[in-house]
Structure 1
């Protein structure tokens, strides 16, 4: 309030009119919210986004932001349109290229099924346009690719396993397909991870509607609302 003066008395003597205005402004807004906003902007000037995919990053103004835009990013679509596959690809990209940990809470698919989804994606990328070399999740799990009569197919799968092995440990899958967690269980797991490692992970919940309800008597809408707010 004293601006560049050493104290209030000097500010009063230097410029009584400005000092009076400052007093009135302080009375109206003791927390000085405008200055607080400017300080907040200054602190976030150097915040860098966690990139995902180029088209998605355009929508998100650069990617996922840590601390700047705190909240929930939701992916919505009709059933069987590929929400899990898309979310898993985001998780893999962040772990593989951004070298950041991801906690993936899976409530519908098991760990091995999700892992083979990721490897299937890599077999497609490594196939270089040759469709017979790429593998579906089911074909990977059945192991038919291990029949050595198709060496190119076998080599492609093994190369994809190797690439997946370079980053998969940073995609930490929590299998809740049988024992579904509540939002509080997930919160405790995330807090424990941060306390143990000192790293703040990206958290993906697949998906909110089938979390174990925090109130067994509450409506579906009420329980989802509670999960989102938490």
Structure 2
């Protein structure tokens, strides 16, 4: 029988077997690890789903995705991270900073410090170098515990197409014995046969959606925004994704990050000037589309980009938010 064909009876039998053996919903859901978000999207990222993460430049999309990768690898589940902009050592430095930042009560850990330790010319082991960083050695130990479950693919826009992504997934399957969570950073950089951006984006997003279904695991892809959506004071929405309407159509979940300062109503700034600096420290995450629950939900997460991370506990946004704020003198 064609492997793409399955009767409902066979599907029922497989579901029944999964439930009888205890391989129920938990095996089909990959949690993001961001408190408050997972319950809103069906418990986490579901098998066969395409999740898009978008937002203006510099708002931590890669940081968010890497934190999701780390959260899953730390539970013993393999993760395959396709990185089109950063090499494995750069991501490793961010992971150590992330772990140290969470462990250190003195609040002295910085990504820049970790990077300087990697770049320093003096001869010594990494563990010895990290002794000078608060909680540095403990952070290295934590990263080491899940390091063999987090696979980084150094991807390029000239070589890494959908076939290359599929081949890498199969390689990780063989090495780890199970299907990985797939993260693509980022979607518009995946090599395509089309020169036209709209046609290229459509091909890639449809291909990633098919891939998620075929491997029965989630694909989390970062999506770039149109230039118009990047200007300060404008709230980025799902229709600001760059390249094709297929992005929002094909995705099962669309998450959009915005800086809180840029999208709160002006009166929150006018009557309390101290709010401006506080709001700049938070990213607002909107669930723009959600096939597994209600969309439109809004959470805020404190950003600690100096430590390469978000504070993972999301809280409700109480202030009024707007789509675009226009200041008049």
Structure-1-length-normalised TM-score: 0.70
Is the contact between residue 149 and residue 176 of structure 2 (CA under 8 Å) also seen in structure 1? no
Cα distance in 1 for residues equivalent to 2:183 and 2:92: 15
**Does 2:161 match 1:185?**
no
Q: Which protein, 1 or 2, shows the higher relative CO under an 8 Å CA cutoff with sep ≥ 6?
A: 2
CA deviations on 1:174-229 (whole Å, 9 max, x unpaired) are: 112586411221112112332454311101010001112233xx311211211122
For residues 180 and 120 of structure 1, do their structure 2 counterparts lie closer, same or farther at Cα, with a shift above 3 Å needed? farther
196 and 164 in structure 1: CA distance in 2 versus 1, 3 angstrom threshold: closer
Match of 1:124 in 2: 101
- The structure-2 alpha-carbon separation of the partners of 1:191 and 1:214, relative to structure 1 and needing over 3 Å to count, comes to farther
Q: Which has the larger radius of gyration?
A: 1
| Aligned mates of 1:77, 1:100 — CA distance in 2 | 27
Q: Does the 8 Å contact 1:145/1:157 carry over to 2?
A: no
Give 2:55's match in structure 1, choosing from 43, 66, 77.
Answer: 77
Equivalent residues of 2:78, 2:176 under 8 A apart: no
Does the residue aligned with 1:173 lie in a helix, a strand or coil?
strand
SS at match of 1:75: strand
Does residue 222 of structure 1 match 2:199? Answer: yes
- CA distance in structure 2 between the aligned counterparts of 1:221 and 1:72, rounded to whole angstroms: 19
Deviation at 1:80, TM superposition (A): 0.9
Match of 1:94 in 2: 72
- Quote the residue 1:163 is aligned against: 142
**1:51/1:94 contact within 8 Å kept:** yes
* Matched residue count: 187
Q: CA deviation at 1:88?
A: 0.3
The structure with more helix, counted as a fraction of residues:
1
Residues 38, 117 of structure 1: CA spacing in aligned structure 2 closer, same or farther, 3 A cutoff? same
| Counterpart in the other structure of 2:110 | 135
Does the C-alpha gap of structure 1 residues 32 and 182 become closer, same or farther in structure 2, counting only changes over 3 Å? closer
Please report the RMSD computed on the Cα atoms of aligned residues, expressed in angstroms.
3.0
TM-fit CA distance, 1:37:
8.2
Summarize deviations over 1:125-150 as a string: whole Å, max 9, x none: 1112x122x121x3212119989xxx
Partner of 1:47: 25
Q: Which structure dedicates a bigger proportion of its chain to strand?
A: 2
Give the SS at the match of 1:143.
Answer: helix
TM-score of the pair, normalised by structure 2: 0.50
